[in-house]
């Protein structure tokens, strides 16, 4: 998503929303979490959720705007977001694209295709070349 964001951030607004922890240590931890040293219990408070989100942003040097779901999981419930999912909300506030449930149906290239159809194909190279022209 970072490359898509970099390519289209001048054409569309982006927002990543952190919802419930997908593989917490106190529920369904995965070996990959241990290997990557991202082991967290399911947050019980908003402060804990914020701390985990901040750790992710800092570790990954994640450039996309970032929001955090409230402890009532309003965004998760509204968008069936857990464990990960992509949406495009159009200018009228309507869902224009609803991606499949991640991780198996998480398809960022479908988002790129939608954005390319709407705004034209853009890549960092072509946008950098276009901005370099007088």
Give the domain CATH number at 11: 3.40.30.10
The β-bridge partners of 88 are 97
Domain that includes residue 70, residue range: 2-132
Counting the structural domains of the chain, the total is 1
What DSSP designation does 101 have?
A: P
3-state DSSP assignment of residue 21: coil
- pTM of the prediction? 0.76
Phi-psi region of 18 (alpha: psi -120 to 50; beta: other; left: phi over 0): beta
Can you give the pLDDT of all 134 residues of the chain as single tens digits?
899 999 999 999 999 999 987 777 777 777 776 677 677 888 899 999 999 999 989 988 999 999 999 999 999 999 987 778 899 999 999 999 999 887 788 899 999 999 999 999 988 764 444 444 44
Please tell me the distance from the alpha carbon of residue 50 to that of residue 43, in angstroms, as a whole number.
Answer: 9
Please tell me the distance from the alpha carbon of residue 93 to that of residue 96, in angstroms, as a whole number.
Answer: 9
Q: Which of 103, 102, 98, 56 is nearest to 79 (CA)?
A: 98
């Amino acid at each position: 998503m970072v490359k898509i964001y970099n390519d289209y951030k001048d054409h569309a607004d982006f927002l990543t929303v952190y919802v419930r922890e997908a593989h917490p240590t106190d529920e369904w931890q995965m070996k990959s979490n241990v290997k990557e040293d991202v082991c967290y219990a399911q947050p019980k408070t908003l402060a804990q959720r914020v701390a985990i989100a901040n750790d992710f942003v800092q570790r990954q040097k994640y450039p996309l705007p970032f929001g955090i779901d409230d402890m009532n999981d309003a965004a998760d419930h509204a968008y069936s977001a857990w464990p990960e999912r992509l949406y495009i909300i159009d200018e009228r506030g309507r869902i224009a694209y609803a991606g499949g449930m991640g991780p198996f149906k998480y398809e960022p290239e479908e988002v790129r295709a939608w954005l390319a159809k709407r705004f034209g194909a853009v890549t960092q190279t072509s946008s950098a070349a276009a901005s370099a022209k007088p």
